[in-house]
Structure 1
Amino acid sequence: MIYIVIPVHNRKAYTLGCLADLKKQTLTEKRVIVVDDGSTDGTTELVARQFPDVIILTGDGSLWWAGAMNFGIRYVLDKLTPDVNDFILALNDDIQVRPDYLASLLTAYQANHPCIVGSVSVDVKPPHTLLYAGTGMNLVFPKIDNWAISRFKNSHAFLIKTSPYLLSDSLPGRGMLIPMPVFKAIGLFDEQRFQHHMADLDFSISARKAGFPLVVSSASVVYEYTDATGVNITKPMSVQAFWAALSAIKSPVNRHVRYNFALKHSPLSYLYFGLDMLRIIGGYLIRRIKVIAPVAY
């Protein structure tokens, strides 16, 4: 059985679309749990009406991603009595999947177990750019190698021809198949230090350290709505907006979260954090100069 836990908040169109895709899955051994963290757009009512088989848990808006995931996982563990051979699938709602998606994840697990299986991300918009296909991480110095770019030139067709499975240093929560024994080994997501961003990164690295390889399945594709993510620091922004992003919960450059990550995972934690922040600030300044320079010229 695969228990699919989906945190949602005020994105009813994405949520309903995701549930519609899950309903079409060829794999029938599944149960969907939607954790609606304080939506005000009618998400809970619409899901209950259109998908009566879906379990809906509600929060007050303070759970964020990690808290919502843990809420759903605790419900599965406490109320649904999962077997040791069952799985939790961490999934976001801002995606589309093909009918064989769940089956492909299970096939990947059976070929590589024990492991955690991650999904490939492809932009839902043509030309369907490959966005994620595994990462190489340096935990001494802050460097993440995005293999979608460096190895596969943003081409899913190239990836498929190269290998059915890849061993990654980390996995995102957008389609992460987790066998139940992982939770016994390392616990749930660390919602105290990683409320939203980096909770999935932290969890997957902790699992890898505990002896669970992280396998990316080339055939398991989530088609991602890239415009639906949180703060996008690659887009032009004012100095004030960038400064706010350094402390915003939904921001990938939240300095408190990155500090916690450095302390937990790097052997040179303070150096790692300092270099990480220099990299983030330097990248912003370079992008800022590129925007301002043509105007000044």
Structure 2
Amino acid sequence: MITIVIPVHNRKTLTQQCLGYLAAQTYRNFRVIVVDDGSTDGTSQMIQDEFPDTLIIRGTGNLWWTEATNWGIRFAQEHPAPGYEEHFILTLNDDTVVRPDYLQTLLDTYEQHKPCLVGSPSADVNSPEKLRFAGTHMELWFASGRDAAADYNYDYNELLRRTDFVQSDSLPGRGTLIPMSVFDKIGLYDSKRFSHYMSDIEFSVRAKKAGFPLIISTKSMVLEYTDATGLFLSAKEKETWKDFVTSFTSIRSPTNLTVRYNFALAHGKTKHLYFLVDVLRISMGFLKRKYLMAK
């Protein structure tokens, strides 16, 4: 049994589409929990009307991604579906598109590498052949890791031609299959230190340290609406110094300094040095983009 946990907030159309793709899955032993964190656009009513089998948990509007996901996982722990020997959590975002065989390919990969966590490669919905994610090579000494997608020239077809799976050093929460036993061993997502961004990365690094391999199922592609996700500076046509400063403080930013610092203390092997190098890397990336825009 797969319990799919989807945190949502005021994105009714995206949520509707995501649930529609899940309804078309060939693998049928699953249930969906939507944690609606204070939506005011009629999201919950739409779900009740169009997807009545979906369980809705209503939040306060202050949960953000991490605690909203934890609410769904806790419900699954406290209310396991009877009659199944194995139980999984699939974390998923509502701004995603998946194929009808998505759940089946995740499970097939799990069976080949179990016990493990199984993640998904991703691409933008407008450029489905251009890989955005296919795993990471994470270096925890001096924050100098890189994306595994570069190993395949960011080409999804090349990834499919060359391998069925990729071993990764971290996994995002957008499309990750997790055996319930992992939560029993290492706990839930850390919502105190990572309220929105990097809780998924931190959790997966923690899981790998506990002995669970992190595997990318190359056939389990997730297409995402990247423009609808968080605060991404590089997606802007004209990136300003104000944007740069805001990215260091916004809860919706993956480069929030508090979050990066907390990760450095939790998993960086050089702690404060890791954090300083990480900030320098982010800053140099911004300066490089400014230089290229000025040319």
Classify the TM-score, shorter chain: over 0.9
2:51 matched to which residue of 1?
A: 51
Q: Percent identity?
A: 50
Deviation of 1:144 (Å): 2.4
Deviations 1:265-290 (A, max 9, x none): 01201000011111112221222233
**Alpha-carbon spacing, 1:127–1:95, altered in 2? closer, same or farther (3 Å):** closer
Match of 2:277 in 1: 275
1:84 positional shift: 6.0
On the 8 A contact 1:120/1:217 being kept in 2, the answer is yes
Secondary structure at the residue paired with 2:138? strand
SS of the residue 1:219 aligns to: coil
Name the counterpart of 2:254: 252
Task: Determine which of 241, 244, 254 is the counterpart of 1:242.
Answer: 244
Deviates more, 1:275-284 or 1:191-200: 275-284
Q: Secondary structure at the match of 1:151?
A: helix
Between stretches 79-88 and 51-60, larger displacement belongs to 79-88
Task: Give CA-to-partner distance per residue, 1:14-35, whole Å, 9 cap, x none.
Answer: 1000000000001110000000
Shift of 1:241: 2.2
Rounded to whole Å, the distance in 2 between the matches of 1:213 and 1:126 is 29
Deviations 1:185-228 (A, max 9, x none): 10000010111110110000000000000010011111111111
Supply the AA of the counterpart residue of 1:24.
A
Is 1:122–1:129's contact at 8 Å kept on the other side of the alignment?
yes
Q: Deviations 1:116-142 (Å, cap 9, x if unpaired)?
A: 000111221145311111110000011
Shift of 1:180: 0.8
1:34-183 to structure 2, matched below 5 A, reads 34-80=34-80, 85-126=86-127, 128-148=129-149, 150-183=150-183
Equivalent in the alignment of 1:289: 291
Question: Following the alignment from structure 2 to structure 1, what is the Cα–Cα distance between the partners of residues 227 and 85?
Answer: 37
SS in 1 for 2:188: coil
Whether the aligned pair in 2 keeps the contact of 1:84 and 1:181 (CA below 8 Å) is no
Q: Distance in 2 between matches of 1:98 and 1:242?
A: 36
CA offset at residue 81 of structure 1? 5.4
Kept after mapping to 1: 8 A contact 2:91/2:174: yes
| Structure 2 residue 170 is matched with structure 1 residue 189 | no
Match of 2:216, SS?
strand
1:215-253 deviation per Cα after TM superposition (whole angstroms, max 9, x unaligned): 100111111111111111213322122212101011010
Structure 1 residue 228 and structure 2 residue 228: aligned? yes
Number of aligned residue pairs: 292
Q: Is the 8 A contact 2:128 2:223 kept in 1?
A: no
**Do the aligned partners of 2:129 and 2:157 also contact (CA within 8 Å) in 1?**
no
Structure 2 residue matching 1:277: 3-state secondary structure: helix
How far is 1:147 from its partner?
1.4
Q: Are the equivalent residues in 2 in contact too, given 1:47–1:54 (CA < 8 A)?
A: yes
Structure 1: which 5+ residue stretches go unaligned?
none
- The residue identity in structure 1 corresponding to 2:80 is L
Runs of 4+ in 1 over 6 A off after TM superposition: none
Alignment check: 8 A CA contact 1:84 1:180 kept: no
Deviates more, 1:67-76 or 1:225-234: 225-234
Q: CA contact under 8 A between 2:233 and 2:243: conserved in structure 1?
A: no
- Gap change, CA 1:278 and 1:84, over 3 Å in 2: farther
Q: TM-score, normalised by structure 1?
A: 0.95
Provide the rounded CA distance (Å) in 2 between the counterparts of 1:225 and 1:254.
21
Instruction: Name whichever of 96-105 and 126-135 sits farther off.
Output: 126-135
Partner of residue 17, structure 2: 17
Specify the SS of the correspondent of 1:220.
coil
Is the Cα–Cα contact under 8 Å of residues 10 and 39 in structure 1 kept in the other structure? Answer: yes
Instruction: Find the aligned partners of 1:84 and 1:63 in 2 and give their Cα distance.
Output: 31
RMSD: 1.3
How far apart, in 1, do the equivalents of 2:174 and 2:111 lie? Answer: 20
Amino acid at match of 2:256: N
